[in-house]
Amino acid sequence: DYELCEEWVQLYPVPREDLINLHREHLIYLLEVGDMEKALKLLQRIEDPGICLAISEQSLDQRPNLAASHFLADYLTAHFYANLTTARRNEIQALYMGSKVLLTLPELSRVNYFHLSSRPLLMVEQLLMNMKVDWVAVAVQTLHQLLAEQEIGFTVEDIDNLLSKYAEKALHFPFALKEKRS
């Protein structure tokens, strides 16, 4: 049906918003079924960069599944970095990093942390609070690698401070002295 609509668009003029809606729905469909190659080809077929940017951003704002969010965040960063405001850039990069961290977690546990995909630092904190130390180690290593390549709203020092805070809490043992009994 999407291909038929695309053929129709080639033959008859279609309002810009309708064209964006068509491509957005087609893109989301392809991403939801996991066909990233066709999704990329669809985006490459769109000649107008403004329409392509609108489709990608609107698709990302609909909060698709993890793989789709990761794909869209990566695509937007790679192709439209200069066209995005600093705040939007940071938001998309945070989502990219969060989705990358989620992909390092065991598959069955990802759903529990998906709502934090746009806030990777909070995700690390949640993992710490849930005592998932092994997962935290992998997440921190992933974030360290990603932060070396990109600027975002937090730094490696913020991660280290968070880890130090929870390490300190883990070593704090409140107890009361008791009298010795004979």
d(CA 60, CA 117) in angstroms, rounded, equals: 12
Examine the domain organization and report whether 107 and 164 are in the same domain: yes
Task: Identify which of 138, 115, 134, 132 has the alpha carbon closest to the alpha carbon of residue 63.
Answer: 115
What is the three-class DSSP state of 26? helix
pLDDT reported for residue 178: 64
Domain that holds residue 161: 87-170
Examine the domain organization and report whether 95 and 43 are in the same domain: no
Task: Identify which of 120, 127, 111, 121 has the alpha carbon closest to the alpha carbon of residue 66.
Answer: 111
Q: What's the number of domains the chain is made of?
A: 2
Q: Is the pTM of this model over 0.85?
A: no
Examine the domain organization and report whether 13 and 78 are in the same domain: yes
CB 20 within 8 A of CB 58: yes
pLDDT reported for residue 72: 92
> 90: burial class by Cβ within 10 Å (0-12, 13-18, 19+)?
middle
d(CA 125, CA 123) in angstroms, rounded, equals: 5
Q: For residue 175, is it within any domain?
A: no
Q: For residue 97, is it within any domain?
A: yes
Examine the domain organization and report whether 32 and 74 are in the same domain: yes
CB 46 within 8 A of CB 26: no
Examine the domain organization and report whether 123 and 164 are in the same domain: yes
Q: For residue 176, is it within any domain?
A: no
Q: Which amino acid is at 106?
A: P
Q: For residue 27, is it within any domain?
A: yes
Examine the domain organization and report whether 46 and 2 are in the same domain: yes
Examine the domain organization and report whether 113 and 47 are in the same domain: no
Q: For residue 182, is it within any domain?
A: no
What is the three-class DSSP state of 35? coil
Examine the domain organization and report whether 107 and 70 are in the same domain: no
d(CA 57, CA 84) in angstroms, rounded, equals: 10
Examine the domain organization and report whether 101 and 145 are in the same domain: yes
Instruction: Quickly tell me which residue has 């690390």 as its tokens.
Output: 124
List per-residue pLDDT tens for the chain, 182 residues long.
Answer: 777 878 787 788 888 898 888 889 989 999 999 889 999 998 998 888 998 999 999 999 888 888 898 899 999 988 998 888 888 888 888 888 888 899 889 988 888 988 888 888 889 889 888 888 888 888 888 888 887 766 666 778 888 888 888 877 777 666 665 666 65
What's the gap between Cα 144 and its chain centre?
16
